[in-house]
Amino acid sequence: MISPNLKRLLLIIGLILATLALAFALFSFFKKTAPTTYIPPSGGQTPGGQLPTAGEREPGANLTTTTGGLTPGNNVISSNVPGTPPSYYQPTASQQVVSDQISYPSIGTGGNMRYYDVNDGKFYRLASDGQVKAMSGQVFYNVQKITWSKSNDKAILEYPDGNKILYNFEKQTQITIPKHWEDFSFSPDSSQFASKSIGLSPENRWLTITNDDGTGTKLIEPLGENANKVTVSWSPSRQVVAFSRTGEPLGADRQEILFIGLNNENFKSAIVEGEDFRPLWSPTGKRLLYSVYSGRTNYVPELWIVDSYGDNIGGNRQTIKLNTWADKCTFQSDLVLYCAVPRSLPQGAGILPEVANGIYDDIYKVDLSTGLRVTVPTDGDYQINELSYDKINNRLFFTADNNNGMFEVKM
Position 249 scores a pLDDT of 79
- Establish if 407 belongs to a structural domain: no
Residue 60 lies in a domain: no
Tens of pLDDT, residue by residue, the chain (411 residues)? 555 555 555 555 665 665 555 444 444 433 333 332 222 222 333 333 333 334 333 333 222 223 333 333 322 222 222 333 344 444 357 899 999 999 999 998 888 999 999 999 999 999 888 899 999 999 999 999 999 998 899 999 999 999 999 999 999 999 999 999 999 999 999 999 999 999 999 999 999 999 999 999 999 999 999 999 999 999 999 999 999 999 987 887 899 999 999 999 999 999 999 999 999 999 999 999 999 999 999 999 999 999 999 999 999 999 999 999 999 999 999 999 999 999 999 999 999 999 999 999 999 999 999 989 999 988 889 999 999 999 999 999 999 999 999 999 998
Tell me whether residue 391 is in a domain.
Answer: no
Q: Is residue 125 in a domain?
A: no
Question: What is the total count of domains within the chain?
Answer: 1
Q: What angle do CA 401, 405, 411 make, to 5 degrees?
A: 95
**Structural domain boundaries enclosing 196:** 142-232
Q: What angle do CA 80, 84, 87 make, to 5 degrees?
A: 150
- 293 occurs within a structural domain: no
Question: How much is the pLDDT for 36?
Answer: 28
Q: Is residue 205 part of a domain?
A: yes
116: in domain: no
- The model's pTM: 0.78
- Identify whether 268 is part of a domain: no
Asked if 195 and 178 count as a contact pair (C-beta separation under 8 A), the reply is: no
